[in-house]
């Protein structure tokens, strides 16, 4: 009788554990879907998203601690980190991102040291793009209402950098921004509004100061 009772208890307990796991797995998938859909979501309370960030940060750690002489190993690690990248690229160490799979980079890409990408939403970078040192792309943002921030919710909006763009050093690009093709962003700028193509823009907030002629 005692053995039967223990077996029955374990069976019921296991069923409850499986049911709890499946329920919470669906919740975690929903949080990721909310993130990708640009809705309020909880990154800190979702184990799947936490695990994906840890996996990505571990790969970034390996990349950043690989000797600059081992270019082949560095490039292989970058291809594991970044969702889609062209055949011709140089990303100087250190480089950091949150998930990696939301980043798409075209051909002939170059970024200088300390390139940071918070890629909770899609980050699309075109061909022939130059990124100066200490640049940051923030797809992540937070609610203005402090009560929503208190419970750990946040938002993510995509960033697009089109072909032939050059970002000077220490440029910050905020969530939801598009920088048009052939444009140049001056050093130290904070880009909080879309920049049209063929523009030179600078400042905080970043503003267009001239149009590039002859393109």
CA dist 136 to 11, 73, 115, 185, Å? 51, 24, 6, 13
β 178-179/123-125 pair status: unpaired
Reported in sequence order, the residue ranges of the chain that DSSP labels E, i.e. its strands, are: 41-42, 84-85, 89-91, 95-97, 103-105, 109-111, 115-118, 123-125, 130-131, 136-138, 140-141, 153-156, 159-161, 166-167, 172-173, 178-179, 184-185, 190-191, 199-202, 207-211
Question: Which ranges of 129-199 would DSSP assign to H, the alpha helix?
Answer: 146-150
Q: Which of 32, 113, 142, 207 is catalytic?
A: 142
How far apart (Å, rounded) are the C-alpha atoms in residues 64 and 215? 37
Tally: H helices and E strands in the chain:
4, 20
Bridge partners, residue 208, by sequence: 201
Is 142 designated active site? yes
Q: Which residues are catalytic?
A: 142
């Amino acid at each position: 009788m005692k053995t039967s009772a223990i077996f029955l208890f374990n069976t019921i307990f296991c069923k409850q554990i499986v049911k709890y796991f499946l329920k919470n797995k669906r919740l975690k998938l929903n949080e990721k879907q909310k993130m990708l859909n640009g809705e309020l979501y909880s990154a800190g309370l979702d184990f799947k998203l936490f695990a994906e960030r840890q996996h990505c940060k571990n790969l970034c750690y390996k990349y950043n601690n690989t000797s600059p002489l081992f270019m082949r190993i560095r490039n292989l690690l970058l291809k594991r980190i970044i969702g889609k990248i062209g055949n011709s690229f140089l990303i100087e160490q250190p480089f950091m991102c949150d998930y990696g799979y939301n980043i798409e980079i075209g051909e002939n890409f170059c970024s200088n040291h300390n390139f940071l990408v918070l890629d909770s939403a899609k980050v699309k970078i075109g061909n022939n793009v130059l990124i100066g040192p200490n640049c940051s792309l923030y797809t992540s943002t937070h609610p203005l209402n402090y009560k929503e921030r208190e419970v750990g919710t946040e938002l993510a909006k995509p960033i697009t950098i089109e072909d032939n763009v050059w970002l000077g050093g220490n440029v910050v690009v905020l969530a939801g921004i598009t920088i048009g093709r052939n444009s140049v962003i001056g050093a130290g700028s904070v880009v909080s509004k879309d920049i049209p193509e063929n523009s030179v823009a600078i400042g905080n907030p970043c503003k267009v100061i001239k149009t590039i002629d002859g393109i």
